[in-house]
Structures are given as structure tokens and as C-alpha cells.
């Protein structure tokens, strides 16, 4: 069984990924054998957010030359995870029949790794 730490390896911190993070889209390097369902479950467990969509892309290694010899960089898989940014207040009847409001169940941003809004 894979743990969430085995699925999501590290965040991608670039200028582009930081600008789309404001829209609730966070970018991660994930395990090459991970699928969308595993990535969604891992993000929800690790960060306590509600994931609405996952887009994945496979990247082949680039050919690099060093001292006249050709080599390849490592291949990797990148995932863009979209989270629900609209938190809905939940109201329920509390003690004495009074209406009680509670905040959103899920967070609306990922504060880990400097991702914040």
C-alpha cells in the first residue's frame, strides 16, 4: 500500500506555478506509476483540502552532453491539482434549537511549502 508521501514527491516552485496557485491549482512532482485517483487521495490526506480535479503529464528525460558524451536526465511525472477555493459555511441546529454556523470543512489553500494566498 502506498502512503501519500510515496505518491506526492515534491512541489514544483516556479514563477508560473506560483501564479496559478492563486486560482487554486498546485503543481507537484509525483511517482511515475501514480494515477489520478491516487494523487487526489494523497493531496486530500496530506493537506486537508477538497480536490476538484487532477491533470497529469509525463516528461521524458532530456539529452545532455558532458565532456563529449551524451546522457539523459531523469524522466518524471508532473501533476496539477485543482482544489475547491469556495468554502461553504455549514449551519446546523445546536443546543436549544439555535442555528449554529461552522466554517468550511476543507481549507481553501495549501499553506505547506510556502503555497498560500
Among 22-26, 29-33, 37-41, name the one with the lowest average pLDDT: 22-26
Note the pLDDT of residue 84: 86
Q: What DSSP letter does each residue of 6-33 carry, written as one string?
A: HHEEEE---HHHHHHHTTTEEEEEE-TT
Closest CA to 37 of 4, 85, 75, 76: 4
The three-state secondary structure class of 3 is coil
Query: In whole angstroms, how far apart are CA 71 and each of 25, 61, 62, 89?
Result: 33, 9, 8, 54
pTM metric for this prediction:
0.75
Residue-wise pLDDT for 71-113, tens only, equals 999 999 999 999 987 755 566 667 677 776 655 556 667 765 5
Domains, the chain, ordered by start: 4-114 (3.30.70.330)
Amino acid at each position: 500500500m502506498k502512503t501519500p508521501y510515496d505518491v506526492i514527491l515534491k512541489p514544483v516552485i516556479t514563477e508560473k506555478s506560483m501564479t496559478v496557485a492563486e486560482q487554486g491549482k498546485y503543481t507537484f512532482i509525483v511517482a511515475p506509476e501514480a494515477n489520478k485517483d491516487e494523487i487526489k487521495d494523497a493531496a486530500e490526506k496530506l493537506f486537508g483540502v477538497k480536490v476538484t480535479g487532477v491533470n497529469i503529464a509525463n516528461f521524458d528525460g532530456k539529452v545532455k552532453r558532458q565532456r563529449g558524451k551524451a546522457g539523459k536526465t531523469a524522466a518524471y511525472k508532473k501533476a496539477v491539482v485543482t482544489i475547491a477555493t469556495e468554502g461553504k459555511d455549514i449551519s446546523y441546529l445546536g443546543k436549544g434549537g439555535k442555528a449554529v454556523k461552522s466554517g468550511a470543512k476543507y481549507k481553501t489553500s495549501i499553506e505547506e511549502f510556502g503555497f498560500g494566498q
